[in-house]
Amino acid sequence: MSIEALPPEGALRTDVPVLEVEDLSVTFARRGEQPTRAVDGVSFSVAAGETIGLVGESGCGKSVTSLAVMGLLPRRGVQVGGSVRLGGTELLGAPDRTLRRLRGSEMAMVFQDPLSSLNPTVPIGTQVTEVLVEHRDMGKKEAAAEAAELLDRVGIPDPARRLKEYPHQLSGGMRQRALIAMALACSPRLLIADEPTTALDVTIQAQILELLRELVVDTGTALVMITHDLGVVAGLCDRVHVMYAGKVIETADRYDLFARPRQPYTGGLLASVPRLDAGRGVPLTPIRGSARDAIPWAEGCAFAPRCDNAQDDCLTEVAGSTVPLEYDGPGRELRCRHPLTYPSSPVGATASGAGR
């Protein structure tokens, strides 16, 4: 395998988006089993200071996408295709050394469960300084001081004391803050947050989201929020990619998406959010079935079995192609043959693939 020499360290370009993902696909293949395509032709890009959301139910491929970007998927039994570029540098197929150098320094990740993401046998301080020593060539003392400053920055009170404590001594919110501090230790250009608030209670969720928002604004970090929580999307993301069964099915501006969801799946997600103004006794309107009911994309629209708008042509190939992702007005893309329509937006009704 020949790998092109990478530009020297620090040579990540600034004139291109921080992260460009193009036609990313991830296939899990086990000997003697049908290969499973967890991510299928996903493309998106994030610019500095921008926040995008990857939204979808459990199992739709959002976490696998993030692991593929970070190069954290196991080598064996996993095929990753397409292109992932960080500041113009191709990451897929890059040597382990290069990836390790970039991870933690140029791109970092915050995980879902803050307790299990921290090593229970070492103090918080050791884990924060570890990153600094690894990527910023700091001495132990210097790193400890910097670590305290980092904890201070993410809003952990009395950081010097906290550095000596173990994860089980911290509250859930503080653990997540510590993890964010670790991720931010080297001011990465890209931060991927994989459901960072799922394991936290609601008040803490709001604090953590606010913290992430501040950090993006202050440092110009590109943020990829992976979530199934539309509240998080509403509060934080500039642009949203809705994923279903490994494919992006709708892309839109946050406001557009909430005002006029086009994919029936997106519409269903929004409709199933409990509303305070809905009145008592009004039942929630969930999407029928579960993500397990998806059919392979090769046979048509994966969401069709659960979709209220589904018609016969959703389940068959049309012109040798299954449902493609198409332009759907400025800043919007849509993968649907029979999208939701709105009387106030005459353009949308015709520009979509509805007429095909």
Partner 1 sequence: MTAMGDVRRQRIDELAARAGQVPEGEGGVSLVRSAFRRLRRDPVAILGAVIVVVFLFVAAFAPWLAPRDPLAQTLLGQVRPGFIPGAQEGFPLGADQLGRDLLSRLVYGSRQSLLIGVVSTVLGAVVGMALGVLAGAFGGWVDTVVMRFIDIVLSIPSLLMAISISVLLGQNQYALMIAIAVTQVPVFARLLRGSMLAQRGSDYVLAAWALGVKRGRIVFGHVLPNSLSPVIVQGTLSLATAIIEAAALSFLGLGDPDIARPEWGAMLSTAQAFLSVRPALAVWPAVCIIVVALGFTLLGESLREALDPKFRR
Residues making contact with partner 1 (CB under 8 A): 70, 72, 99-105, 108-109, 111, 113, 116-123, 126, 130-131, 134-135, 141, 144-146, 148-149, 152, 159-166, 168-169, 179, 182-183, 185
Nearer to partner 1, 68 or 323 (CB): 68
Classify the C-alpha dihedral 218-219-220-225 as positive or negative.
Answer: negative
Nearer to partner 1, 122 or 298 (CB): 122
- How many CB atoms are located within 10 Å of the residue 98 CB? 16
Nearer to partner 1, 227 or 352 (CB): 227
CA 301 from centroid of its chain's CA atoms:
23
Which residue type occupies 185?
A
In 180-209, which positions are buried (b, 16+ CB within 10 angstroms) versus exposed (e)?
A: bbbbbbbebbbbbbbbbbebbeeebbeebb
Q: How far is the CB of 63 from partner 1 (least distance, A)?
A: 11
Q: How far is the CB of 343 from partner 1 (least distance, A)?
A: 47
Q: How far is the CB of 94 from partner 1 (least distance, A)?
A: 13
Q: How far is the CB of 56 from partner 1 (least distance, A)?
A: 21
Q: How far is the CB of 194 from partner 1 (least distance, A)?
A: 10
Tokens 């015709």, residue? 350
Nearer to partner 1, 169 or 290 (CB): 169
Report which of 67, 168, 188 is spatially closest to residue 178, judged by C-alpha positions: 168
Report which of 124, 211, 198, 199 is spatially closest to residue 161, judged by C-alpha positions: 124
Nearer to partner 1, 42 or 163 (CB): 163
Nearer to partner 1, 11 or 72 (CB): 72
Is the Cβ–Cβ distance between 246 and 60 less than 8 Å? Answer: yes
- HSE-up (13 A, CA, CB side) for residue 87: 19
Could you give the C-alpha distances from 114 to 63, 171, 354, in angstroms and in order? 16, 10, 44
Nearer to partner 1, 144 or 237 (CB): 144
CA 194 from centroid of its chain's CA atoms:
6
Q: How far is the CB of 273 from partner 1 (least distance, A)?
A: 28
Nearer to partner 1, 113 or 253 (CB): 113
Q: How far is the CB of 125 from partner 1 (least distance, A)?
A: 8
Sheet holding 78-86, edge to edge: 36-46, 19-28, 78-86, 89-90
Q: How far is the CB of 324 from partner 1 (least distance, A)?
A: 33
- Report the 3 state secondary structure along 116-167: CCCCCCCCHHHHHHHHHHHHHCCCHHHHHHHHHHHHHHCCCCCHHHHCCCCH
**Tokens linked to 50:** 């921008």
Nearer to partner 1, 101 or 228 (CB): 101
Q: How far is the CB of 221 from partner 1 (least distance, A)?
A: 15
